[in-house]
Amino acid sequence: MTARRLSLLLLVLAVLGALGSAFLERGAISLFGEYQLLLETDPETAAILFWDIRLPRALLALMVGASLGLSGAALQGLTRNPLAEPGLIGASSGAALGAVAIFYFGLFGTTGLSLLSLPVGGLVGAGLSMIVLVALWGDDTRIATLVLAGVAINALTNAFVALLLTVAPSPFAIYEIMFWMMGSLADRSYDHVLIALPFMLAGWTMLLLSGRGLDAMTLGPESARSLGVSIRRTRFLTVMGTALCVGAAVSVSGVIGFVGLVVPHLVRPFTGHMPGASLLPSALAGAVLLVFADIGVRILTPGVELRLGVVTAFIGVPFFVLLLLRAKRGLLA
């Protein structure tokens, strides 16, 4: 299967998944039953349920999944490390710290401008983390420097999150912070879609534009320069594109891990193992993975809904262990 056919297939699956998510009843594998009853008895409520509650959640699942999948593919191409993922460079932890600070200071609300405080806090946190990352990385061309800078940022931001949890003013604040950090798309609205979409669009554009540079860098920095590729531009597009995508995603969904790790590996065999060719299919595959994972959290537990980040962790951790074992045996492509 070619990359183009794969992308078309994934696009169809993403659309079907979004429609299924919008129509699926919670706690049961049943499509349309709830809507048939409501359409007969209360059409207005049925319309509200679909357009204002279910559809925004499905759209966010597609957007967040695409952002994480695309970011993971770009980072693996940039670092030439098959174990890289968005959390590697500190974007996720920075966004989490910004959002946790909003919770801690009691700025988050459910109406008006206060509704936007959480996404804005996450974006600011991701942006500051990326500024620090670029400052630490500087003109160094070594990927190890990027990884070490990301490790330092993750350690620092996680320490601040732990500090805020320790000095949280009330058990309710701790509860809100902990559950938000597990990742979820429940109770989201078009406000969340609209606040995240512009930043994600900018991030998607930057990452897709980095494709040619990522392909050239597989030959090494010197060969890439001889082909007329600017390594600095490629690094900037990849790092800042990831910051925008992951910052916006974490801001509206909480921390959802491993999508950026798993998806590129599933896509790469169909794209000739070329980073640039893997970008678009990885974005679509991430959207498919997350929208179906979100369906899973709704049908598996009819009572208290599982957190989406927990489900992706159950999927991603065994996959990560398998990658480590393959890398140890020298079989990882």
Q: So what's the pLDDT on residue 35? A: 54
Going by pLDDT thresholds of 50, 70 and 90, the confidence category of residue 222 is confident
Write the pLDDT tens digit of every residue in 43-69.
Answer: 677 677 778 888 999 999 999 999 999
Q: Please, where are the H alpha helices in 107-210?
A: 117-137, 143-166, 171-181, 190-209
Helix, strand, coil share (%) of the chain residues, nearest 5? 80, 0, 20
The predicted structure's pLDDT at residue 302:
64
Give the highest mean pLDDT range of 73-87, 100-114, 231-245, 299-313.
231-245
- Among candidates 260, 248, 256, which has minimal Cα distance to 130? 248
**Both structure tokens of 257:** 């891990």
Q: Is residue 26 predicted with pLDDT exceeding 80?
A: no
**Per-residue confidence (pLDDT) for residue 39, from 0 to 100:** 55
Give me the pLDDT at residue 38, please: 53
Collapsed DSSP state (helix, strand, coil) of residue 31:
strand
Q: What percent of the chain lies above the pLDDT cut of 90?
A: 32
Beta bridge partners of 24: 31
Q: How far is CA 253 from CA 50, 79, 133, 166, 197, in A?
A: 20, 26, 23, 23, 13
| 321-330 burial: b if 16+ Cβ within 10 Å, else e | eebeeeeeee
pLDDT at position 153, please? 92
pLDDT for residue 130: 83
* pLDDT for residue 303: 65
Cβ atoms of residues 84 and 76 within 8 Å: yes
Q: Which two tokens stand for residue 46?
A: 């049925």
Mean pLDDT calculated for residue range 118-136: 84
Nearest residue to 83 via CA among 329, 325, 263, 323: 323
pLDDT at 229 over 70: yes
Query: Does 31 have pLDDT greater than 60?
Result: no
The pLDDT-based confidence of 83 (bands split at 50, 70, 90) is confident
> For residue 126, which of 166, 159, 162, 86 has the smallest C-alpha distance?
86
Domains of the chain: 3-328 (1.10.3470.10)
Calpha distance 50→20 (Å, rounded)? 11
- Residue 333's pLDDT band, with cuts at 50, 70 and 90, is very low
Residue 248 CB coordination number (10 Å)? 28
pLDDT in tens, 129-188: 888 887 887 766 676 777 788 889 999 999 999 998 888 777 777 777 887 788 999 888
Entry pTM: 0.89
Residue type, 123: L
What is the C-alpha to C-alpha distance for residues 174 and 171, in angstroms, rounded to an integer? 5
Query: Measured between alpha carbons, how far is 135 from 316 in angstroms, rounded to an integer?
Result: 31
For the chain, the average pLDDT equals: 84
Residue 160: both structure tokens together: 């601040």
> DSSP assignment of 191-250, as one string?
HHHHHHHHHHHHHHHHHHHTHHHHHHHTT-HHHHHHTT--HHHHHHHHHHHHHHHHHHHH
- For 38: left if phi > 0, alpha if psi spans -120 to 50, otherwise beta; the answer is alpha
| Backbone torsions φ then ψ of 256, nearest 5 degrees | -120, 110
- pLDDT band of residue 291 (cuts 50, 70, 90) is very high
Q: What are phi and psi of 142, to 5 degrees?
A: -80, 135
The residue among 98 and 329 whose pLDDT is bigger is 98
For residue 112, the model assigns a pLDDT of 55
DSSP SS3 for 24: strand
Q: Are 68 and 260 in contact (CB under 8 A)?
A: yes
Q: Amino acid identity of 151?
A: V
> For residue 332, what pLDDT is reported?
46
pLDDT higher than threshold 80 for residue 41: no
Give the span between the Cα atoms of 198 and 158, in whole angstroms. Answer: 27
- 308-328 and 275-300 helices, crossing angle to 10°: 130
